[in-house]
Chain A
Amino acid sequence: QLQLQESGPGLVKPSETLSLTCTVSGGSISSSSYYWGWIRQPPGKGLEWIGSIYYSGSTYYNPSLKSRVTISVDTSKNQFSLKLSSVTAADTAVYYCARPQRGYDFWSGYGTYYYYMDVWGKGTTVTVSS
């Protein structure tokens, strides 16, 4: 059974870089066709998709965060990571790692991609404060 676990500092100073790691257990991060992603949730607010990475290294980011986000994979450790630079209080949130399922369905001359998160970590709280 695939499990994800976030880890990293719970407190980050403004203007610094937030760094989190997600450790994958129960499966290989380099299995083909798998994506790995990050989602966050500010206190009392809704979910925000941050970005994802394909096992081969291709990355996809939320346009609103793209200039500050980097997601990477370390296959030797079965981990993937999130870095968010120049943080402010607005980046205070619970950060979740997750496994997106992505693929393409085609039927009756019409097709569409599917993309959803079927496995989630428990989340880790990050506070941005001096």
Chain B
Amino acid sequence: SYELTQPPSVSVSPGQTARITCSGDALPKQYAYWYQQKPGQAPVLVIYKDSERPSGIPERFSGSSSGTTVTLTISGVQAEDEADYYCQSADSSGTSGIFGGGTKLTVL
């Protein structure tokens, strides 16, 4: 197995762009996925397969990948985007999931 590393926290002012990174040695070969979790709620998938956005997720959420680092970008951050964000990947056989430690996004 391997690890995914995220910064513990990111802060941004409303209307600005937030970038949350996730690093892992296997990321050049494995997809990354991103989940948003608000207090007391279950996680919600916001990005899958590095950069695909599920239906119903606002266009301001986007994902990208470069080498061993993937990035979740939230453009024009809104107060409602304040939440914990988790990256996730899988093992090479696609049968087990690995989560990053999570990043708390604070909207100032």
- Name A residues whose Cβ lies closer than 8 Å to a Cβ of B: 37, 39, 46-49, 51-52, 60-63, 96, 100-105, 112-118, 120-123
Contact = CB atoms under 8 A, between A and B. Distances in A.
By secondary structure, the B interface counts as loop
A46 B86 contact: yes
Residue from the set A62, A116, A120 with the largest chain B CB neighbour count within 10 Å: A116
7 contacts: A47-B37, A60-B96, A112-B31, A113-B95, A114-B49, A114-B90, A117-B35
Contacts of A104: 94
Contacts, number: 81
B58 interface: no
Contacts of B86: 46-47
A116 B86 CA distance: 12
Interface of B: 1, 29-31, 33, 35, 37, 41-45, 48-49, 54, 86, 88, 90, 92-102
A103 B93 CA distance: 10
Contacts of A123: 42
Closest 5 CB pairs of A and B: A113-B94, A115-B90, A49-B97, A116-B33, A120-B42
A114 B97 contact: no
A104 B90 CA distance: 12
A53 to B, nearest CB: 11
Contacts of A62: 96
Contacts of A52: 95-97
B57 to A, nearest CB: 11
